[in-house]
Amino acid sequence: MYSNSVVALDADSGDLRWYFQTSPRDEFDHDSTSEPMIIEEMFNGQMRKMIVQVSRNGHVYALDRMNGDFLYAGEYTRVNWAERDERGKPVLKQELYEPADTMVFPGLYGGKNWPPASYSPDTHMLYIPTTEWGTRFIRRDGEGRPGTMDLGGIPQFDTTGTGWVVAFDMLSGEIAWQKEMPGNFNWAGTLSTGGGLVFSGAPDGHVYAMNDETGEVLWKFQTGSGIYAPPTSFTIDGKQYLGVASGTRNPVTRAGVATGIATGNYILFSL
């Protein structure tokens, strides 16, 4: 009943206050792994206390965090598997009850996976690490065997997929800009700062600093191996630093493997 949901519990008693189910059927593994973000933002001329979640199913959901009321939903990536009803919940397209011939977007890895998005109250934008990587879902006949993993079918991936950093405008509910990232997907997460910057990494090993209003790349640094971790920022003795973990494999692009070796390093920058 509460699968694929944003759930609000009373911190003292553990009682359920409210829940909102983002993917009721979950045919395509759009489980709700993304972090709920607590923000205050304008909606219909009023400042609202929101819970915002960038769902794997391709939608940004804005809810009233006091009572769970649905405010709005908007698409932050390519979505072809469902329409939304008046409550924002996806309704599976009739032709996708048997989806074998359709490349479904978002695919098995979701439009956004576990790496965190970030929010800037200065620009009113979410900065979302996204993957536009479709999947064909071919159902398997018969029952699974006890004690074995059973996916219920075979996923076939669109290997020409692309990773992005997407700036989603919370005021308009639409994409403001998007920056294509090297590699097939973006699992690096984002960090937005009060200095007007958005940081993210990429499978090609680069850390990127972008203008938060336009997406223009202002600076980049090659770490030596692919980045699948979010940048972080902190201060020591009054100086601000940027840190990021790098070290899954050689830098990778869609064209193949570039030069470099896996490092397993934590890279630190002074800002």
Q: Where are the domains of the chain?
A: 194-271
Per the model's pLDDT, the better-predicted residue between 140 and 221 turns out to be 221
Of the pLDDT bands very low, low, confident and very high (cuts 50, 70, 90), residue 250 is low
Query: Please, which residues have CB within 8 angstroms of residue 221's CB and are 6 or more apart in sequence?
Result: 206, 207, 267, 269
Asked whether the beta carbons of 47 and 39 are under 8 A apart, the reply is no
How many CB atoms are located within 10 Å of the residue 258 CB? 15
Strands 59-64 and 70-75 come out as antiparallel
Q: Which residues are designated catalytic?
A: 29
Beta bridge partners of 245: 266
Place of tokens 């553990």: 14
| CA–CA dist 136, 24 (Å, integer) | 20
Q: 255 pLDDT exceeds 80?
A: no
- For residue 126, report the phi and psi dihedrals to the nearest 5 degrees: -95, 140
First to last CA, the chain: 47
Buried/exposed 108-144: b ≥16 CB within 10 Å, e otherwise: bbbbbbebbbbbbeebbbbbbbbbbbbbbbeeeeeee
pTM for the predicted model, two decimal places: 0.90
Work out the pLDDT band at 256, boundaries 50, 70, 90: very low
pLDDT exceeds cutoff 50 at 261: no
Domain 194-271, what architecture? Beta Barrel (2.40)
Residue 252 reports pLDDT greater than 60: no
Per-residue pLDDT at 254 exceeds 80: no
Name the DSSP class of 45. T
**What confidence tens digit (pLDDT) does each residue in 59-102 have?**
999 999 999 999 999 999 999 999 989 888 889 998 888 887 89
pLDDT at 111: 94
pLDDT value of residue 259: 34
